[in-house]
């Protein structure tokens, strides 16, 4: 067993994680390329190549290919700067980003903890579209000041239009869009109820889906025009994604409401703390006369491992007198040490910890207050929801 001494180091470039491939780090936070991004890159190449060929008919094939690829690279940079703006702003409010992920639908930034106030949530959400608006402004200046051929102008115009569209679309007032997060924060600030803000913004997201379908599909039909197959497909894909994500937000709001009365102490198994240097004889002496207890190993008063009952049962009788407790224990990640014991903050702490192990150790100040299985917390939330 090894005792963790701090947060795990960022994965190296090229490492495969649950989210995708790590490209590198920014401020210690990994930038991850999801496999789905390769699909959108291929789709963009397929769409832009004939368009560039048609708009610049005299350009060589090599120029057309490079121009098309520049669109894909430009989109990659725009999305990355969008997500970095979210993460760097959130860091200023004490919510450091855990990873930046570039996906089929753009990207998302995962955080280690919730933003503490409605104002900070709104500012972090608005930072991404603001970055795209700034890029659109720079592209507009370049269009009017840079001298170049038609391919250069085509790239600059694409940068202007795409970043302006991304900024405007992301500010629509519905989850999971950034504008939905701003709406959520506004309702949160007015009512003092974050989950109510989530519900309002989630329904806003579903209204956005209806609005997009009406504008791009229904209105052309009513005007006697037939929308292209490409438009219909994109509206269907985007609409299904937004509708599903809004539904997930509604369920998350229900979980948050169920968590208001959550008390991790009531779900905990009593815990006994022993020095990490102790052996099995010390364990038997400490457990004498006690009921069911989880055993936490301490190094300088800090929990570093949890006794594994299954490993303990496998120790042969002739080795029990000499076996150290570290040999039958599992190391604890820092995220498994939980200080928030009540309400939504406790639930968020357990949610972060579940990626590192099936249990959390509760701390009341510097004292171990018990051990809770993540599955038991999930069962409590299901019962509360019913």
Residue 211: pLDDT over 90: yes
Per-chain mean pLDDT for the chain = 87
Banded pLDDT at 4 (limits 50, 70, 90): very low
Residue 244: how many other CB atoms lie within 10 Å: 13
pLDDT at 5: 37
pLDDT at 3: 35
The CA distance from 327 to 279, in Å, is: 9
pLDDT at 289: 65
* Across 222-251, average pLDDT: 89
* Across 352-359, average pLDDT: 88
Residue 268: how many other CB atoms lie within 10 Å: 21
User: Which segment of 3-17, 84-98, 242-256, 268-282 scores lowest on mean pLDDT?
Assistant: 3-17
pLDDT digits (tens, 9 = 90+) for 33-73: 999 888 888 887 887 788 777 777 766 777 778 788 888 88
Banded pLDDT at 231 (limits 50, 70, 90): confident
pLDDT at 245: 92
Rg (CA), the chain: 26
Q: Residue 175: which residues within 8 A CB-CB, separation 6 or more? A: 181, 184, 198, 201, 202, 204, 205, 245, 246, 249
Mapping DSSP onto H, E and C, the string for the chain reads CCCCCCCCCCCCCCCECCCCEEEEEECCEEEEECHHHHHHHHHHHHHHHHHHHHHCCCCCHHHHHHHHHHHHHHHHHHHHHHHHHHHHHHHHCCCCEEEEEEECCEEEEEECCCCCCHHHHHHHHHHHHHHHHHHHHHHHHHHHHCCCCHHHHHHHHHHHHHHHHHHHHHCCCCCCCHHHHHHHHHHHHHHCCHHHHHHHHHHHHHHHHHHHHHHHHHHHHHCCCCCCHHHHHHHHHHHHHHHHHHHHHHHHHHHHHHHHHCEHHHHCECEEEEECCCEHHHHHHHHCCCCCCEEEEEECCEEEEEECHHHHHCCCHHHCCCCEHHHHEEECCHHHEECCCEHHHHHHHHHHHCCCCCEEEEEECCEEEEEEEHHHHHHHHHHHHC
Banded pLDDT at 9 (limits 50, 70, 90): low
Residue 7: pLDDT over 80: no
pLDDT digits (tens, 9 = 90+) for 150-166: 778 888 888 898 899 88
pLDDT at 255: 80
The residues spanned by each domain of the chain are 21-261, 264-385
User: Which segment of 121-130, 170-179, 284-293 scores lowest on mean pLDDT?
Assistant: 284-293
Banded pLDDT at 8 (limits 50, 70, 90): low
208 vs 52 pLDDT, higher one: 208
State the pairing for strand pair 302-307/359-364.
unpaired
Residue 134: pLDDT over 90: yes
Q: Which CATH architecture has domain 264-385?
A: Roll (3.10)
């Amino acid at each position: 067993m090894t005792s963790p001494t701090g947060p795990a180091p960022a994965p190296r470039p090229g490492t495969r994680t649950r989210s995708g491939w790590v490209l590198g780090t920014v401020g210690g936070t990994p930038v991850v390329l999801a496999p789905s991004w390769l699909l959108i890159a291929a789709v963009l190449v397929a769409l832009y190549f004939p368009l560039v060929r048609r708009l610049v008919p005299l350009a060589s094939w090599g120029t057309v290919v490079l121009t098309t690829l520049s669109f894909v690279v430009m989109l990659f940079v725009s999305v990355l700067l969008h997500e970095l703006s979210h993460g760097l702003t959130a860091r200023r409010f004490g919510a450091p980003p855990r990873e930046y992920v570039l996906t089929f639908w753009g990207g998302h930034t995962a955080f280690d903890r919730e933003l503490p106030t409605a104002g900070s949530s709104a500012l972090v959400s608005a930072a991404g579209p603001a970055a795209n608006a700034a890029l659109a402004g720079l592209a507009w200046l370049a269009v009017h000041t840079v001298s170049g051929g038609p391919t250069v102008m085509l790239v600059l115009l694409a940068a202007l239009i795409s970043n302006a569209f991304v900024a405007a679309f992301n500010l629509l007032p519905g989850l999971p869009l950034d504008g939905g997060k701003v709406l959520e924060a506004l309702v949160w600030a007015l009512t003092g109820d974050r989950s109510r803000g989530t519900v309002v913004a989630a329904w806003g997201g579903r209204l956005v889906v209806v609005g997009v379908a009406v504008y791009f599909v229904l209105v052309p039909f009513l005007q006697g025009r037939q929308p292209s197959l490409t438009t219909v497909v994109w509206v269907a894909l985007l609409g299904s994604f937004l509708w599903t994500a809004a539904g997930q937000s509604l369920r998350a709001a229900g979980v948050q409401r169920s968590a208001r009365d959550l008390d991790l102490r009531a779900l905990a198994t009593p815990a006994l703390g022993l020095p990490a240097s102790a052996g099995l004889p010390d364990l038997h002496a400490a457990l004498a006369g006690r009921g069911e207890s989880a055993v936490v190993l301490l190094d300088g008063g800090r929990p570093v491992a949890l006794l594994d009952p299954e490993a303990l049962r496998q120790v042969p009788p002739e080795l029990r007198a000499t076996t150290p407790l570290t040999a039958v224990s599992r190391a604890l990640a820092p995220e498994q040490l939980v200080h928030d014991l009540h309400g939504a903050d406790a639930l968020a702490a357990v949610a972060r910890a579940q990626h590192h192990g099936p249990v959390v150790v509760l701390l009341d100040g510097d004292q171990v207050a018990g051990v809770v299985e993540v599955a038991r917390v999930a069962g409590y939330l299901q019962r509360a929801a019913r």
